[in-house]
Amino acid sequence: FMTSVNDIRSKFLDYFQSHDHELVDSAPLVPRNDPTLMFVNSGMVPFKNVFTGVEKRDYSRATSAQKCVRAGGKHNDLDNVGFTARHHTFFEMLGNFSFGDYFKEQAIEHAWHMVHKEFGLPKDKLLVTVYHEDDEAFDLWKKIAGLSDDRIIRIATSDNFWMMGDTGPCGPSSEIFFDHGDHIWGGPPGGPEEDGDRFIEIWNLVFMQYEQHANGDRTDLPRPSIDTGMGLERIAAVLQGTHDNYQTDMFKALLAGVADVTNTDIGDKGDQSRRVIADHLRSMSFLISEGVLPSNEGRGYVLRRIMRRAMRHATLLGANEPVINKLVGSLVREMGQAYPELSRGEAMIKETIKLEEERFLKTLSRGLQILEDETEGLSEGATLEGATAFKLYDTYGFPLDLTQDALRQRGIDVDQKGFDEAMAAQKAEARKNWSGSGDAASEAIWFKIADQKGATEFLGYETEKADGEV
Ligand code: ATP
Ligand code: MG
Ligand code: MG
Ligand code: MG
């Protein structure tokens, strides 16, 4: 018997509900209370104003499974996808929260009860970190969990001290790690091999006990709070006896779909591409379900980057027609019950993906050919000229990170400064050559639109036509 991802989500939420936590639905990925944030990237984001006291709710404890995207900004795991067994661009964060209600001792009690009793993880497979000055947390882990001293690791870096921003609530954190065993490369947190997949961080507890002031002072919060986040995909992997998120029931189903539409086999050399596609399918579908559309600026551009990157991986698997849109049905089967917006939006999500696939497939293979030609003589450690990366962007619709992703395995870098310069030069040139109507207001509007849409929609289209490809 294997506990499914859907069962694990329920089990977590049920436990905290039965301990007087209000069950709160996931907030949308597009943040409603934070203009500085691209996408919600942790469970606490929707509660920010509750933690600071700006907003009052009629409960002081909550639990949620929050949709998260980490594909840009401060938390960017895009480059990790396909390379680690534990990072996604889209994932679900399970959390329990106390708004000035219980604090450190009860938070550790709940967490220990959850992992050890409810999920049944053995003590000798678990270890925790605490902030180096947080003796209180160290002693509580010893007392509550009975962990030996060498399993409570003191960490002095900012990894174990959380801050909401330059000012506001902050405090030490404690992370719970699962040891998947020495057949997997990696070492314990704080050590030289911590980037491996052997010791995997499953849960992060934040003890908000101070307030950071603009003048640098740090004072005690009158009513400290708790914020925790557990990666659903990671705990599912643990409970299903694998160190690899992509071996869980949900991802296996998605990967089977990818293999199917690309006529490839699980286990052949295309595994990495299949993983990227399965991962990106989730983030693109959830974003589209909220009305985010691929475009050349802001959130829409993050979405476009995710989509086009997935599409390149589909062509690596031999697909030369739109296939990713055909996977939406399997995602809805896996996640539609927990997230009805997916079921409701199914047709629209599919259509949006298909359109973007058709649009990009027109230039993708030409662009890849050019990339091939331009890097033919380059060996590991070399750098691709920024001007070439810009041409790929400008004429063939290659987001910079797609080019970087394509060259990464060969150890070739892209000259990002050169890319930025080429971009700036093109914008300056366009302004200089603009004779326009002499009407300053309409010129300003034109340039605003051109900047937003990017050159792809303008010059790229003409180039395509000149080449007789459309
Ligand atoms: P890591 O050090 O492994 O990158 P993190 O410390 O950045 O994780 P947190 O910000 O503490 O992660 O998020 C809380 C929890 O969410 C983590 O303990 C982990 O279980 C999960 N998590 C974080 N990032 C990802 C991701 N990109 N994909 C899947 N799960 C994630
Ligand atoms: Mg991280
Ligand atoms: Mg971490
Ligand atoms: Mg963490």
Question: What mean pLDDT, rounded, does the chain reach?
Answer: 92
pLDDT (tens digit per residue) in 311-339? 999 999 999 999 999 999 999 999 999 99
Q: Residue 438's pLDDT is what?
A: 58
In the reported structure, the alpha carbon of residue 130 is separated from the centroid of ligand 3 by a whole-number distance in angstroms of 12
pLDDT tops 80 at residue 202: yes
| C-beta 211 within 6 A of ligand 1 | no
89 Cβ contact list (under 8 Å, min separation 6)? 69, 70, 71, 77, 78, 81, 279, 280, 282, 283, 306
pLDDT (tens digit per residue) in 147-180? 999 999 999 999 999 999 899 999 999 999 999 9
In the reported structure, the alpha carbon of residue 86 is separated from the centroid of ligand 1 by a whole-number distance in angstroms of 8
Q: Residue 469's pLDDT is what?
A: 31
In this prediction, residue 219 has a pLDDT band, given cuts at 50, 70 and 90, of very high
Q: Residue 433's pLDDT is what?
A: 77
pLDDT tops 90 at residue 468: no
In the reported structure, the alpha carbon of residue 245 is separated from the centroid of ligand 1 by a whole-number distance in angstroms of 12
Complex ipTM: 0.99
Ligand 1 atom having least distance to the Cα of 41: 10
322 Cβ contact list (under 8 Å, min separation 6)? 353, 354, 357, 358, 361
In this prediction, residue 465 has a pLDDT band, given cuts at 50, 70 and 90, of very low
pLDDT tops 90 at residue 437: no
In this prediction, residue 443 has a pLDDT band, given cuts at 50, 70 and 90, of low
- Look-up of token digits 């302004």: 431
Q: Residue 455's pLDDT is what?
A: 39
pLDDT (tens digit per residue) in 234-290? 999 999 999 999 999 999 999 999 999 999 999 999 999 999 999 999 999 999 999
Ligand 1: residue of 41, 87, 157, 205 to mutate (most ligand atoms within 8 A of CB) is 87
Range from 71-80, 185-194, 295-304 carrying the lowest mean pLDDT: 71-80
pLDDT (tens digit per residue) in 331-388? 999 999 999 999 999 999 999 999 999 999 999 999 999 999 999 999 999 999 999 9
What are the Cα distances from residue 364, in Å, to 357, 369, 440?
10, 9, 37
pLDDT tops 60 at residue 461: no
Closest Cα to atom 31, ligand 1: which residue?
A: 231
| C-beta 92 within 6 A of ligand 1 | no
16 Cβ contact list (under 8 Å, min separation 6)? 23, 61, 63, 96, 110
pLDDT tops 50 at residue 131: yes
- Adjacent-strand bridge partners of 168: 212
How confident is the model over 73-98, as a mean pLDDT?
93
pLDDT tops 60 at residue 69: yes
What ligand has the least distance to the C-alpha of 88? 1
pLDDT tops 80 at residue 89: yes
In this prediction, residue 431 has a pLDDT band, given cuts at 50, 70 and 90, of confident
Ligand 1 atom having least distance to the Cα of 70: 27
